[in-house]
């Protein structure tokens, strides 16, 4: 790997896990090699836009709670193997740091992952090559490139499971998904049309399908709005665990649920991506911050 720009450093983070720190001209950020997991993005003069649990673990092979978990090559529970890790193996695996470069106000850091004997022995026994490119700048961009290196078609589910920090989820609302069809994972598995803005009054776990829409998270208690735009993604997942589910998760503080919500950029369920041998796919999430109009 060629030398890193001065603004990009690697050092032990929490739990001693290798962490990349980026101190760019317009923003700072942090990415753990475990899962190529973005844990912080702070535009200059702003608080962190991403949410991390104070109760998160930081152990090799375990997912972090918050930031942007990288869900691949399946989303949620594995359809056929109940013993397989939720959201796939990518967020639990150490990625390689491939390099970094400065591009004006943007700092771009690249991570790589490919199949191994361990992944080929698991629930998704295929050869693949993945690259995660994180751009820390006036916007935060995360791009997941996946190439099928197998000799047969493969089907991939994927998601950038973005945890956003909000002042109070009970005052927040998400616009942009009006009219999109979703499956409520807490109710019968039928398609429901989104009627108006999304508001949070209880545990919320919705998978919006067939939508390329940009979501806008309005956070009135902080007088700010977060934009989640995307490309190469047909699914958006919106989640807040609310009090009971938060209390049931050991790596989630009992009272933390009011300060976060997830807007996840993915291709899940019927939007899963089929790749022929040698075929690749690219998905990007673009996260931006603006004052609330």
Residues that bind ligand TA6 (CB under 6 A): 63, 76, 86-87, 161, 185, 205, 237, 239, 262, 264
Which segments of 49-167 are extended strands (E)?
70-71, 96-103, 106-114, 128-136, 140-148, 154-156, 158-160, 163-165
* C-alpha span between 194 and 191 (Å, rounded): 10
Helices (H) and strands (E) in the chain, counts: 2, 23
Decide whether 173 or 245 has the Cβ nearer to ligand TA6: 245
For the CB of residue 293, give the shortest distance to ligand TA6 in the complex, in Å: 28
For the CB of residue 6, give the shortest distance to ligand TA6 in the complex, in Å: 34
For the CB of residue 262, give the shortest distance to ligand TA6 in the complex, in Å: 6
* C-alpha span between 11 and 97 (Å, rounded): 12
* C-alpha span between 172 and 220 (Å, rounded): 6
Given 78, 161, 218, 256, the catalytic residue: 161
Decide whether 8 or 64 has the Cβ nearer to ligand TA6: 64
Structure token pair of residue 125 = 């026994």
Decide whether 63 or 176 has the Cβ nearer to ligand TA6: 63
Containing H/E element for 248?
helix 242-248
Decide whether 63 or 122 has the Cβ nearer to ligand TA6: 63
Helix (H, G, I), strand (E, B) or coil at 286: strand
On whether the CB atoms of residues 33 and 95 are closer than 8 A, the answer is yes
CA distances from 184 to 63, 194, 214, 234, 264 (A): 24, 11, 20, 17, 15
* C-alpha span between 144 and 159 (Å, rounded): 9
Decide whether 110 or 161 has the Cβ nearer to ligand TA6: 161
Told to judge if 161 belongs to the known catalytic residues of this protein, a careful annotator would answer yes
Within 10 A of 173 (CB to CB), how many other CB atoms are there? 16
Given 30, 158, 256, 264, the catalytic residue: 264
For the CB of residue 63, give the shortest distance to ligand TA6 in the complex, in Å: 6
For the CB of residue 219, give the shortest distance to ligand TA6 in the complex, in Å: 20
For the CB of residue 283, give the shortest distance to ligand TA6 in the complex, in Å: 15
Told to judge if 78 belongs to the known catalytic residues of this protein, a careful annotator would answer no
CA angle 99, 105, 108 (to 5 degrees): 20
Decide whether 131 or 162 has the Cβ nearer to ligand TA6: 162
Q: Which residues are catalytic?
A: 161, 264
């Amino acid at each position: 790997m060629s030398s890193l720009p001065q603004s990009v450093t690697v050092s032990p983070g929490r739990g001693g896990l290798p962490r990349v720190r980026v101190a760019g001209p317009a923003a700072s950020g942090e990415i753990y090699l475990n899962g190529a997991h973005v844990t912080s993005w702070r535009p200059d003069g702003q608080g962190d836009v991403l949410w991390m649990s104070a109760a998160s673990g930081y152990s090799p092979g375990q997912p972090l709670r918050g930031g942007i978990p990288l869900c691949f090559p399946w989303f949620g529970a594995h359809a056929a193997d109940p013993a397989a890790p939720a959201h796939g193996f990518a967020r639990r695996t150490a990625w390689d740091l491939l390099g970094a470069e400065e591009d004006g106000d943007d700092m771009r850091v690249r991570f790589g992952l490919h199949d191994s004997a361990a992944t080929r022995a698991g629930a998704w026994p295929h050869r693949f090559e993945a690259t995660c490119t994180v751009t820390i700048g006036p916007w935060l961009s995360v791009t997941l490139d996946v190439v099928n290196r197998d000799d047969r078609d493969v089907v991939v589910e994927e998601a950038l499971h973005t945890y956003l920090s909000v002042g109070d989820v009970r005052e927040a609302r998400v616009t942009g998904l009006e009219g999109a069809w979703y499956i409520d994972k807490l109710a019968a598995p039928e398609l429901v049309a989104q009627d108006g803005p999304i508001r949070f009054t209880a545990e919320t776990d919705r998978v919006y399908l067939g939508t390329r829409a940009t979501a806008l998270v309005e956070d009135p208690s902080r007088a700010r709005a977060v934009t989640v735009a995307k490309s190469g993604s047909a699914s958006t997942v919106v989640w807040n665990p609310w009090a009971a589910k938060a209390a049931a998760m050991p790596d989630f503080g009992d009272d933390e649920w009011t300060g976060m919500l997830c807007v996840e950029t993915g291709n899940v369920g019927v939007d899963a991506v089929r790749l022929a041998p040698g075929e690749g796919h690219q998905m990007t999430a673009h996260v931006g911050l603006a004052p609330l109009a």
